[in-house]
Structure 1
C-alpha cells in the first residue's frame, strides 16, 4: 500500500498550494494513519514529508480551513503515541501551534480537539519540569500580570474587596483568557482521568493559577470568564486532594473547600448561572472521583455530606419559591422541611439563610431562577444518587402544588388554580416542573415508599389537563407525565391493587381524555393516545377496572375514527399503537374491534396510506390481531394477501420488518397449533381428532411438524421468506428473514422430516394433476382481494334503483355545502405464489444463512472509515496493474 501512497503524498505535499482543501485534509488523515507506527514515522521523516507539512501549515495557520486543521491535529495526536514522534513535536515546537488552536480558533470542534491533545501532551511530559513551565508560561502569557492575585484565604478581607484592580481588555484578549481557563481545566480533568499521581505544585505551583482564579472571581465582571475560572477552581480543589502523594482523602476536607468556594460566589451575587454551573461541575466530579475519598464516620454538627451540600445550595432558589407561594402548611410539607434540616449542618444552614437574603431582591425573578434550577437538576439526573433524587422529586412536587390547590374542604375533586393568573404568568416554570418530574420518574421509578407525594400526583395532573389556562404544549407534557404515573402504579388505587375507580380522581379520567382527544392541537391528541395505550395495557389483566373506563366513553370507537380521519400521521400511528393493546382486551374486541370494517380499515392503510410510519403500525396491529384473536377464513385470506404484498413491495424497510413479524407469528402459531411449545413436544397431548389425551410418538411428531409447515406453505409464508431473503436493497429485511428461516430449518432438522416432505410434495402434485386440489390449493393460481361490501352480487329492485337516483340528485344539490368523501378504493389483485415445503428447503440448503445473520452495523460503519477507503485504493490499483500486464501480454503475442 505504501508503494502507492508514498509517491502520491510526496506529490501532494510538494504541490500544497495547487490542490483543493478536501485533498489536503485527506492527505493529512493518511499521514496520521502512517505515523501511528514508528516505522511509518521514520519513513515519512526520511522523505522530509513531516517538515514540509509543518512548513505549509505555518504559512497560513490562522486562515486554514477547519477540515485541514483537524487533519493536522490527527497527525499530532498519532505522533504522541511513541517517543520518536513526541521528540519531533518538542524539537519543532509544535506545542505552540496546539496552544494557538486551543485559544484562538473560532471552531469549537477545533478548540476541543486541540485542548484534548494539548492536555495529553502535558501528561506525557509531566517529568520534564522545564518544558512544562515553558509551555504554561506561553499559555498564560496574557493572564499572569493583568490582575493583582488575591490569596484564596483573603476573601473575607474588606480592603481586598474594595481594592479591585480592574483592567479593560478587548474582545480578543477576553476570548483568549476564557479559553486559557478552559485549557487548564481540561489538563486537570485529563490528569484526574489518567489515574496517575502528579505533583501539582511542581507543575502549576510557580504560577499560582488557583489564586489567579480566585482573583478572577473577585474582580472580573465578565460572567463567562468568571464561570470558566470557577469551573477551573472546582477541578483544582479535587485535583489538589487526589493528585498528591497522600493516600488518604477526607470527604470533610473537600466539603469545606466546596462551601468556601460557594460562599465566595454568593458574596459576589454570581447567580443563577455561575452558582448553578459550579454545583453541576462539583456533582459531576464527585460522581466520578468521590469513591477515592474516605467517608467521615463522625458526622457531627459541622459536617455535611458532599452530595447533600451541593444539593441544598443548588436547590435553594426552588425552596424559596415554594415558601413564597404556599398559602398554608400541611404535614407533608413539614416532613419535607425536616428532612432538609437533617441533612444540613449549622454552617450550611447559615449559608443558606444568607443565600436566601441575597436572592430576595426586587430585580431578581425567583420563578425564572427556579426554572434554571430545575434544568440544572435535569442535567445531573444521570448520575444523581437515590437519596438526593427523592428530595429533588419532592421539591418538584411542592412546586407543582403551587399551581394546583384544593378549593373545597369536603374532599371532592373540585380544583382551582392559585393564584388565578399563576399559570398565565409563569407557563415556563410549569413546563420545567413537568419536564423535571418526567425525567426523574423515568430514571428512578419512585413509589409511595420513597415519597408520599406520589399518591397525589395523578390528581394534580388531572387538574392541569382540564384547565383552559394551561398552554397546549404544557398540557401535552402533563399527559406524558400521566402516562409515567400510570406505568409506575402511583395512584392509590393502582398502588394498593384495588380493582375499582370509585373514590379516586381517576373516575373522571375517561371524560377528561375524551375531551383532550378532540383537541385542535395534534400534540395533545398524540399524548392522550399514549395515555390510553398505557390504560389499554393495564386493562388486560393488571387493572381490569380500566375496561369500564374505556367502554363508558366509547374511547375505542373514537380511536378507530382517529385512525381513519386524523390529518396528522404521527397521531394516526399512535392511535394504531393504542389499538395494538386494546385488541388484547376481550370485551373491547367483542364490542368494537371484531367488526369486518375495522379490519378492512387496517388493510386499506397497508395498501393506500402514504406515510410509512402509519403502514408500519398498521402491520403491527394486524399481527397482534392474528396472534391473539381467531379470524374467519375469508378474513384470513385478505390478511395473507396484504402482508404478502407489503413484505415484498413496501418502500420502507421498517414496514417490511413489521410484515415479517407477522409471518413469524404465523410460524409460531402454526407450530403451536400442532402442540409444539418452545421447539419441542410434550410427552402427552390432547388430540382434537380422537378427543382424548394421547401419547406423542416420533412418527406423530413428524406428522404434526409436517402439517404445520404445510400450513405455512399454503398461506404464502415460505415464498415470502424466500423473496425477502434476496431483497438486496434492505440488509435488515434480509437479516430478519434469515432469522425466521433458521427457526424453521432448525425444527425440520430436529425432527428429520425431509422424507415426509418428499411424500407430501408428490401427493400434492398428484392431486393437482388429477384436478383434486382442496379448497385452499386453488389459491395457487390467483387470489383476488375484494372488500366484503363489494362482494354482494344480489340483484337490485327497480325501487332501489330509483332511490339511488334520487339520492344522487340530492347529493348534487348539496355538493356546494357538504364535502363528499371519496369512493372506497379497490384493493389491488394479489397473486400469491405457493412453494412446497421441500422445494423451499432445497433452495435454503444452497445458501449460507449465517452470512445473512451477521450484524450489519459493523460492515456499514467500516464502509465509511479510512481503512475501507485505503483498501479500495489498493484493490483499484491492483486491478490496474493486472490490466497493464494483460495489455503487455497481448502486445508480446502480436509481436
Structure 2
C-alpha cells in the first residue's frame, strides 16, 4: 500500500518536472540536491525490483520522462540543467537494470541523448551525469557495441580532455581507460591509441613554438590528461595482463615521452612522463618474464640498467625533484606488480630486491650528501663516524644481487649526485625534503629491507644535529620532514634493534631535537608524535630497564620527562596537547606493563603540570588532561588514604587502620594522595561535566568521574545526589560521543551494583561472605538481590535515560542503549522476574538503593530520592503510575522523540568557562533536576518492544517513508512551500 502511494507521488512529481512551457523551460527546482536524492531512491528501488523479479520501477513512465526532458529544445535551455541531469542519471539506472537492450533503443531515449550531446558536453554540470551514463552503457553487454557504432569516442570522450572542469577531465580519463580496456582485443584499439598519439604530437609541435600563456597552459593540461590515460592503462593492467606489446605494435611510446622531455616543461609534466616510462619498463619486464616462464637474472639486470639510464637522463637535464618523486613510486609499482602476479599467476618474486635497493640508494644519496658536506669538522674530530657511514654503505651494496658492471654504474651515478648536491646546500635540502615526503607517501609499499635502509639514513641525519653547522638545526622543513618520516617508518614496520641498531638511539635523538633553541611549534608537535610512536613500539628496546633506572643519567626516558615538563608549559596549545598525548600513552603502559612510569611522573613534577592543565584555556588540552588523570586513577584504586582525604573512610579496612596509626603502606603514593586531594578532583570533574563548553572535555571529564567512582572517591550520598544526576544530564548532551560515554557509565554503574550485591563474573556464587559471615545464596535470595538492582535502575532515573536514548537519532547511541536493555532483559529472563516480584507490590516504586549496605526493608534518605516520611495516598500513587505507563506506551509506539520530552529534561546551555577553583564543593542544588522514578513494571513492559530484533522490512519501509517526504519537499505543496523556501536547515539536510 505504501509502495503504491510512493509511486503515485513519483508519477506526479515526474509529470510536473516534465511539463514543458512554450520556450522549452521546465519547472525550476530551487534546490537541485533534492533531485540528486530522488535519483538515489529511484536507483535503489530499481535494483531491488530487478533482484526480486518485479517491475516496481514502472520503466515506461521513467522512459517517458527521460524522452521529454532530453528533447533538444529543453536541453538547449540552460535553466533546465538540474532536470536534464536527473534525466541522464535516471537513464543510466535504467540501462543498469535493463536486460533487453532493444527496449532502450526502441524508446528513442538513447537517440535523443546522442542528438543533445553537443549541448550536454559543453555544460560541466551535465557532462558528469553523461559520463556516468556512458560508463553504464560500457558495463552493459550490448551497450559497448552501441557506443562504438555511434562514435562516442570522438563525440564525447576525447572532448572531455579539454573540458573547463577538472572533475569532468578526471571522469573523462576514467571513462576513456574503461572504453579502451574493453576494446583491447579488437581492431578498434589501434585507432584509439593513435588518436592519443596525435594529441601528444600536437603538444610537442605547438609547445616548441609557443611561449607561456593561457593557450599554452590549456595545451599542457590536455597533454597531462593524455599521459594520465596511458598511465591508467599501464597501472590497471600491471601484473595482470600485458599491454606493452600491443602499444609497441602501434608505435613506440617512449619516443614521444622523450620528445616531451626535450622541451622545457613543468615538474608535473616531467613526473607524469617519468611514471609512464617506469610503468612501461615494468610491463616490458613482466611480459618477458611470462614468456620465459622462469625468472632469468638477465631480465632483472636489464631492468636495473634501464632504470639507471633513465635516472641519469633526468638528472642530466635538471629534473631532480621529478626524479626523486618518481623513484619513490617504483616501490609502489613493484609491490603491486608482485602481489598481482602472485594472485593471478601464482608467481612469487618477493626475494628479488636488487632494483629496489638501487632506487633506495639513489633516494638516500641526498641525505648522505648533506651529512658529508655539512659535517666536515665533526668527521675530523670523530673518524668513527666515517667508519659507520662506510659500513652502512657496504651493507646496502651487499643487498644488491646483480652484475658488477651494473653496480659500478649505479655507484658512479651516486657519486655524481653527491658531488652535484654538495655544491648547493640549499638546493640539496629542498631535494631531501621532497625525497623524504615522496618516500613516506608510499611507505605501505616499501620493502622491509629498503625501509630499514631509509630509516638508517634518516636516523643518521638526526644524529647530525650535534654539529652547529648541520642544516637540521636550522631548516624547519627538513626537521619536520625527517621526524615525520622516522615516525611513519616506525609505525609501519615496527623497527627495533633487531632490524636496525640505530633505533636504540632514536628516542634520545628526538629528545635532543626537542631541546634545540627556537624550535617551531610544528616541529615540537612532530617530535612529540614521534616519541609517542617510539613508546608504543618499545623503542629503544631497553625501555623497561630505562624506566626502572631513575638514578642513571642521560637515559632517553629521563630526557623525555624533562622535555615533557617544558612542553606542558608551552605557549602553543597544540604542543601542550601533544605532550599530554604522550603522557596518556605512558600511563596506559604504566597500567599494563611498566608501573615505574608512576615514579617517573612524580620525579619530573608532571603530575602538577597535568593538574594545572585541567584549567587550561583550550578545551582540547583540558580534555587530554582529564584523560591522563583518568588513566592515573585507573592504575591504582587506593591512591587516596583516609589520612589524606576528607572523604568518609571505608569501614572494616585493615589498611585504613594502619594509615590512622601513621603507617603508609606505600610511600611512593604520597605525592598523589596529597596533591590530588588538595585539588578536590571529584567535584572539579563533576563541575566540568556540567559546565564545559567543549564536547571533548565533557566526555573526558565524565570518563574521569567514572574512574573516580570505581575507585570509591565518592560517598554513597554523593553518588546518589551528584553523580547520577550528572550522568543523566550527559545523556541529553548535544554531542553523541558524550551521550555514548553517559550510557557507558550507566552500564558500568549497573555492573558495579550487581557486583556489590554478590555477582562475580556474571554469576551469583552459591555462598558469599558479608561482615564476616557466610551467607548462602539460594534462588530466592539471588532473585531478591536482582530485583533490588532493577528497582534501583528504575528509581534513580536511569530507565528514563535508556528509553530516551533507545530512540536517539544517532545509530551508535541507540545501539548502545539497546545493548543495556538486552542485558537487563537477560537478567529478567535468567532469574524469572515478574511484576509480582516488585518489593513494594502492586507496581509501586521501590525506595531501596542498589548500592546501600542496609537491609532491603530500610528506606534510603538520599537527597536524590523522594522522601518517605508520610505515606502517599493510594489514589495519587495509582494515578501517577497510570500516567507513567501511558507515557511509556506512547514512547514505544512512536517513531519520533516528541513524547520523550514529557519525562526528559532539556539540556542546559553550555558555558565555555574552564574548570572552577579547587575549593569548589558541589551540593544537590547545583545539579540539574533528576529524571523521575519509574516502577519496575515499566521496565518489564519496555522489554517486549525494545529488545525485539529489527525485521528486514523495516529498512525498506523507512526508505519509502523518506522518499514520500522527499517528494513532498520537491512538490512544495500548500503550506510547505513558503516554509521550505525560508528554512535553510531543511535544504541542508539533503
Does the alignment reach a TM-score above 0.5? yes
Distance across 1 between alignment mates of 2:867 and 2:813: 26
Distance across 1 between alignment mates of 2:110 and 2:550: 77
Residue 58 of structure 1 is matched in structure 2 by: 118
In the alignment, which of 97, 103, 107 is matched to residue 47 of structure 1? 107
Shift in CA distance, 60/28, structure 1 to aligned 2, threshold 3 Å: closer
In the alignment, which of 926, 929, 946 is matched to residue 847 of structure 1? 946
Residue 807 of structure 2 is matched in structure 1 by: 726
Give the number of equivalent residue pairs: 794
Residue 33 of structure 2 is matched in structure 1 by: none
Residue 691 of structure 1 is matched in structure 2 by: 773
Residue 250 of structure 1 is matched in structure 2 by: 295
Shift in CA distance, 827/272, structure 1 to aligned 2, threshold 3 Å: farther
Distance across 2 between alignment mates of 1:254 and 1:859: 57
Q: Which moved more, 1:393-402 or 1:383-392?
A: 383-392
Q: 1:532-555: per-residue Cα shift (whole Å, max 9, x none)?
A: 222222333522222223224443
Residue 92 of structure 1 is matched in structure 2 by: 150
Kindly state the Cα deviation for residue 118 of structure 1 after the two structures are TM-superposed: 1.3
Is the Cα contact below 8 Å between 1:580 and 1:620 reproduced in 2?
yes
Shift in CA distance, 362/590, structure 1 to aligned 2, threshold 3 Å: closer
Shift in CA distance, 605/691, structure 1 to aligned 2, threshold 3 Å: same
Distance across 2 between alignment mates of 1:236 and 1:27: 41
What is the 5 A alignment of 1:434-473? Answer: 434-473=483-522
Kindly state the Cα deviation for residue 94 of structure 1 after the two structures are TM-superposed: 0.3
Shift in CA distance, 848/714, structure 1 to aligned 2, threshold 3 Å: closer
Does residue 717 of structure 2 align to residue 634 of structure 1?
yes
Kindly state the Cα deviation for residue 570 of structure 1 after the two structures are TM-superposed: 1.3
Q: Which moved more, 1:80-89 or 1:716-725?
A: 716-725
Residue 281 of structure 1 is matched in structure 2 by: 329
Residue 227 of structure 1 is matched in structure 2 by: 271
Kindly state the Cα deviation for residue 500 of structure 1 after the two structures are TM-superposed: 2.6
Does residue 820 of structure 2 align to residue 740 of structure 1?
yes
Is the Cα contact below 8 Å between 2:587 and 2:628 reproduced in 1?
yes
Shift in CA distance, 610/224, structure 1 to aligned 2, threshold 3 Å: closer
Give SS of 2:184's match.
coil
Residue 658 of structure 2 is matched in structure 1 by: none
Residue 75 of structure 1 is matched in structure 2 by: 133
Kindly state the Cα deviation for residue 319 of structure 1 after the two structures are TM-superposed: 2.3
Residue 643 of structure 1 is matched in structure 2 by: 726
Distance across 2 between alignment mates of 1:633 and 1:440: 51
Residue 13 of structure 1 is matched in structure 2 by: 70
Distance across 2 between alignment mates of 1:646 and 1:780: 17
Shift in CA distance, 555/874, structure 1 to aligned 2, threshold 3 Å: closer
Does residue 231 of structure 2 align to residue 185 of structure 1?
yes
Give SS of 1:447's match.
coil
Residue 831 of structure 2 is matched in structure 1 by: 751
Kindly state the Cα deviation for residue 368 of structure 1 after the two structures are TM-superposed: 1.4
Does residue 835 of structure 2 align to residue 775 of structure 1?
no
Is the Cα contact below 8 Å between 1:192 and 1:243 reproduced in 2?
no
Q: 1:310-334: per-residue Cα shift (whole Å, max 9, x none)?
A: 2222222122223333423346545
Give SS of 1:567's match.
coil
Kindly state the Cα deviation for residue 575 of structure 1 after the two structures are TM-superposed: 1.1
Higher relative contact order (CA 8 A, sep 6+): 2
Distance across 2 between alignment mates of 1:77 and 1:622: 56
Shift in CA distance, 478/877, structure 1 to aligned 2, threshold 3 Å: closer
Distance across 1 between alignment mates of 2:516 and 2:68: 72
Shift in CA distance, 590/835, structure 1 to aligned 2, threshold 3 Å: farther
Kindly state the Cα deviation for residue 619 of structure 1 after the two structures are TM-superposed: 1.2
Shift in CA distance, 468/360, structure 1 to aligned 2, threshold 3 Å: closer
Is the Cα contact below 8 Å between 2:70 and 2:113 reproduced in 1?
yes
Is the Cα contact below 8 Å between 1:217 and 1:226 reproduced in 2?
yes
Residue 257 of structure 2 is matched in structure 1 by: 213
In the alignment, which of 224, 230, 237 is matched to residue 281 of structure 2? 237
Distance across 2 between alignment mates of 1:591 and 1:202: 79
What is the 5 A alignment of 1:725-874? Answer: 725-727=806-808, 729-754=809-834, 757-759=837-839, 761-762=841-842, 774-776=859-861, 779-781=864-866, 827-851=926-950
Kindly state the Cα deviation for residue 282 of structure 1 after the two structures are TM-superposed: 1.8
Distance across 2 between alignment mates of 1:636 and 1:478: 42
Residue 104 of structure 1 is matched in structure 2 by: 162
Kindly state the Cα deviation for residue 755 of structure 1 after the two structures are TM-superposed: 6.1
Kindly state the Cα deviation for residue 286 of structure 1 after the two structures are TM-superposed: 0.8
TM-score by length of 2: 0.73
Is the Cα contact below 8 Å between 2:63 and 2:91 reproduced in 1?
no
Shift in CA distance, 837/478, structure 1 to aligned 2, threshold 3 Å: same
Distance across 1 between alignment mates of 2:494 and 2:251: 49
Shift in CA distance, 322/672, structure 1 to aligned 2, threshold 3 Å: farther
Distance across 1 between alignment mates of 2:862 and 2:514: 56
Give SS of 1:687's match.
strand
Give SS of 2:482's match.
helix
Kindly state the Cα deviation for residue 60 of structure 1 after the two structures are TM-superposed: 6.1
Residue 139 of structure 1 is matched in structure 2 by: 196
Residue 587 of structure 2 is matched in structure 1 by: 536
Kindly state the Cα deviation for residue 208 of structure 1 after the two structures are TM-superposed: 1.5
Residue 797 of structure 2 is matched in structure 1 by: 716
Give SS of 1:469's match.
coil
Shift in CA distance, 551/218, structure 1 to aligned 2, threshold 3 Å: same
Is the Cα contact below 8 Å between 1:38 and 1:84 reproduced in 2?
no
Kindly state the Cα deviation for residue 90 of structure 1 after the two structures are TM-superposed: 0.8
Shift in CA distance, 757/262, structure 1 to aligned 2, threshold 3 Å: farther
Does residue 393 of structure 2 align to residue 337 of structure 1?
yes
Distance across 1 between alignment mates of 2:354 and 2:565: 49
Unpaired runs of 5+ residues, structure 2, are: 1-56, 640-668, 849-855, 869-915, 974-990
Residue 789 of structure 1 is matched in structure 2 by: none
Give SS of 2:864's match.
helix
Does residue 666 of structure 2 align to residue 608 of structure 1?
no
Distance across 2 between alignment mates of 1:873 and 1:562: 48
Distance across 1 between alignment mates of 2:801 and 2:266: 67
Shift in CA distance, 763/44, structure 1 to aligned 2, threshold 3 Å: closer
Does residue 311 of structure 2 align to residue 265 of structure 1?
yes
Shift in CA distance, 80/243, structure 1 to aligned 2, threshold 3 Å: farther
Is the Cα contact below 8 Å between 1:530 and 1:574 reproduced in 2?
yes
Distance across 1 between alignment mates of 2:847 and 2:634: 40
Shift in CA distance, 399/52, structure 1 to aligned 2, threshold 3 Å: same
Q: Which moved more, 1:672-681 or 1:756-765?
A: 756-765
Distance across 1 between alignment mates of 2:60 and 2:565: 73
Distance across 2 between alignment mates of 1:637 and 1:547: 32
Is the Cα contact below 8 Å between 1:710 and 1:837 reproduced in 2?
yes
Distance across 2 between alignment mates of 1:872 and 1:372: 52
Kindly state the Cα deviation for residue 290 of structure 1 after the two structures are TM-superposed: 1.9
Shift in CA distance, 10/710, structure 1 to aligned 2, threshold 3 Å: same
Kindly state the Cα deviation for residue 766 of structure 1 after the two structures are TM-superposed: 8.6
Kindly state the Cα deviation for residue 476 of structure 1 after the two structures are TM-superposed: 2.0
TM-score by length of 1: 0.80
Q: Which moved more, 1:114-123 or 1:314-323?
A: 314-323
Q: Which moved more, 1:523-532 or 1:843-852?
A: 843-852
Q: Which moved more, 1:670-679 or 1:471-480?
A: 670-679
Distance across 2 between alignment mates of 1:744 and 1:146: 73
Q: 1:245-286: per-residue Cα shift (whole Å, max 9, x none)?
A: 626363742453244234233234244322122213321111
Residue 628 of structure 2 is matched in structure 1 by: 578
Shift in CA distance, 490/375, structure 1 to aligned 2, threshold 3 Å: same
Residue 373 of structure 1 is matched in structure 2 by: 435
Kindly state the Cα deviation for residue 524 of structure 1 after the two structures are TM-superposed: 1.5
What is the 5 A alignment of 1:144-223? Answer: 144=201, 168=210, 170-192=216-238, 195=240, 197-198=241-242, 200-218=244-262, 221-223=265-267
Distance across 2 between alignment mates of 1:615 and 1:581: 16
Distance across 1 between alignment mates of 2:953 and 2:328: 39
Kindly state the Cα deviation for residue 646 of structure 1 after the two structures are TM-superposed: 2.1
Q: 1:75-100: per-residue Cα shift (whole Å, max 9, x none)?
A: 00000112321121111100124542
Does residue 449 of structure 2 align to residue 387 of structure 1?
yes
